[in-house]
A and B are shown apart, each in its own frame.
Chain A
Amino acid sequence: MRKLRILYATLVFFFLYLPLGVMIAYSFNSSRFSMAWKGLTLDWYVKLFSNTALMQAALHSLFIAALAATCSSILGTLIAMALQRWRFPSRKVIRTSLFVMMMSPDIVIGISLLVLFMALSLPLGFWTLLMAHVTLCVPFVGITVYGRLQGFDPHVVEAARDLGAGEYEVFRHVVLPMVFPAVLAGWFLSFTLSIDDVIISFFTTGPTFEVLPLRIYSMVRLGLKPEVNALCAIMILITAVAVFASQRFLKEKS
């Protein structure tokens, strides 16, 4: 029974990692057209870094992800605080909508924003992409921070109020420091969501502002290219490092 469990778990991990491993291996294969092994090379990595269009798209992706993560962290935190601290009309509707937005399939979000931008006759590009990514990320930050706020003693806020703090001071000096780890977690979550997103970007950006996943998408559709293997290998490596780092960071916190 115990051996069976180990075997099963190993098989699932094998399934999860074999394709990634194979792709990384091929990124060092010197054969251009076939998948037969022709010896070790770093050519594809050199080619990759000299591909200016691709590097441009990568920079765009990093920039939009950082900006979208920052905007949605601010907005998401404010929403979470408003929901937790104040009673106002439509409060429950907003709380439910955050859950619904989080579960909405990307394609539904993508086309609804496309229809909105068309209705407002906004040209598709940097700004529409930014707004779309912020819309994608805000619910995740909002729910993360809201969850953390609910675990706190409300008396702390009351004490601050009694000592003369205004609503803004309470937010700046009491609420924000308390939820900061959750905001940071939300920031990283948003950053990854934005970098990974294919579907929403597909509908909400124009030819003036191309991001990495869309670039990869068009390369992949044109067929196997060893540079794509190299690029994917780098992205897997970055993800793995980020996951390890966040794990370390969380461990040190607790």
Chain B
Amino acid sequence: MKNDGFFKLTVIVGVISWMAIFAFVPNVLVFLASFSSTSSANFIEPGFSLNNYARLMDTTHLDILLSSLRLSGLVTVICLVTAYPFAAILARTRKPLRNTLLLLVVIPFWTNSLVRTYAMTAMLNSSGIVNNVLLFLGVIDAPLAMMYTPGAVVLGLVYTLLPFMILPLYAALERLDRRYLEAARDLGASPWRAFWKVVVPLTMPGIVSGCMLVFLPGIGMFYVSDVLGGAKAMLLGNFIRDQFLTTRDWPLGAAASVTLTVLMGLMLLLYWKSAARLGRKEA
């Protein structure tokens, strides 16, 4: 046992320093950068001002921020509304079939999201499948311009992120004890009331984590907006990338990134609160 303290100490010191270097320091640096300014000599000129946050709030930047939140919010709502009944159906399917269906959800979940975004172009292109089918059926006379529109970006994000909503919802719905629902019905609740008062609260952690897994990446996935939305920067992710790589305004990009981190923090709090409330109820 002579090496006891040594092994333990090495591991603990190693773990703490690794976390410090790769988790804490980078985020502190970005936080500090968001209060600095830029100069021709340096990307970041140390200093303290709220100037970058003020600039983030001017009309052009605020428009990008708000439209990005709106776009990602819309994607989240579409995914939630589509995935909830689907996950419920999945959770109620009998065993051998259910495993196969789950596997069919996991395959797109694991498939490279850039590949899946690209697959969407084969659908939406002016000579793509959707236009071909509509032309063939005589619904339209000329191909619709679906690519490079906000609609295409929303559809692309829904397509890539839908499995990220289905899986946590499925996990929550599968754990749901159906006796609670029966009890509510026996006590005279209408199906709707039982759903809103029993099923939704009990699956809230699944709903919140599904929404996080869709909303946050939705804001950041700049390649979806690049491939399907054309050159227009529609997402905060495109904006942040451009500040870092094209415009070279690192402090402004850092301020935008801090804003995104704060949003994530708020959503995590919501998740922990809903999970803790449920934990207390079950205990």
Interface residues of A (CB under 8 A from B): 5, 8-9, 12-13, 15-20, 22-23, 26, 34-36, 75, 78-79, 81-82, 86, 88, 90, 94, 97, 99-101, 103-108, 111-116, 118-119, 131, 134-135, 138, 164, 166-168, 171, 192, 195-196, 198-199, 202-203, 213, 216-217, 220-221, 224, 228-229, 232, 235-236, 239-240, 242-244, 247
Contacts and interface: CB of A to CB of B under 8 A. Distances in A.
Contacts of A104: 261, 264
Interface string B219-261: 1111100110000000001001100100000100110010011
Given A82-B15, A99-B268, A105-B216, 19 more contacts: A8-B85, A16-B105, A16-B108, A82-B11, A103-B267, A105-B220, A105-B264, A111-B244, A112-B30, A113-B26, A114-B244, A166-B1, A198-B113, A199-B221, A203-B244, A216-B114, A236-B115, A239-B110, A243-B110
Closest 4 CB pairs of A and B: A112-B26, A107-B220, A19-B119, A105-B220
A115 B250 contact: yes
Contacts of A240: 107
B114 A105 contact: no
Nearest to A135: B22
B128 A166 contact: no
A243 B106 contact: yes
B101 to A, nearest CB: 7
A232 B264 contact: no
B30 A20 contact: no
Contact of B268 (A23, A100, A203): A100
The interface size bin for chain B is: 35 or more
Contact of A232 (B1, B119, B212, B227): B119
Given A22-B122, A94-B15, A111-B257, A202 B241 contact: yes
B90 interface: yes
Interface string B186-230: 000000000000000000000000001000110111110011000
B123 to A, nearest CB: 5
A243 B114 CA distance: 18
A77 B241 CA distance: 33
A196 B109 CA distance: 11
A107 B260 contact: yes
B274 interface: no
A224 B128 CA distance: 11
Nearest to B25: A116
B180 interface: no
Contacts of A22: 119, 122-123, 129
B260 A135 contact: no
B212 to A, nearest CB: 6
Nearest to B28: A112
A240 to B, nearest CB: 5
Nearest to B224: A198
B29 A20 contact: no
Contacts of A106: 217, 220
B7 A168 contact: yes
B159 A19 contact: yes
User: By DSSP majority rule, is chain A's interface helix, strand, loop, or mixed?
Assistant: helix
A180 to B, nearest CB: 18
Nearest to A80: B15
B4 A243 contact: no
B6 to A, nearest CB: 8
Contacts of B106: 243
A164 B1 CA distance: 7
B281 interface: no
B257 A108 contact: yes
A232 B115 CA distance: 6
B118 interface: yes
Contacts of A97: 19, 23-24
A222 B265 CA distance: 37
Contacts of B268: 99-100, 103
Interface string B81-110: 010011001100000000101011111101
A111 B240 contact: yes
B220 to A, nearest CB: 4
Nearest to B27: A112
Contact of B118 (A12, A119, A164, A220): A220
Contacts of A244: 103
B162 interface: yes
B254 A115 contact: yes
A90 B23 CA distance: 13
Given A23-B118, A115-B30, A239-B111, A94 B127 contact: no
A111 B240 CA distance: 9
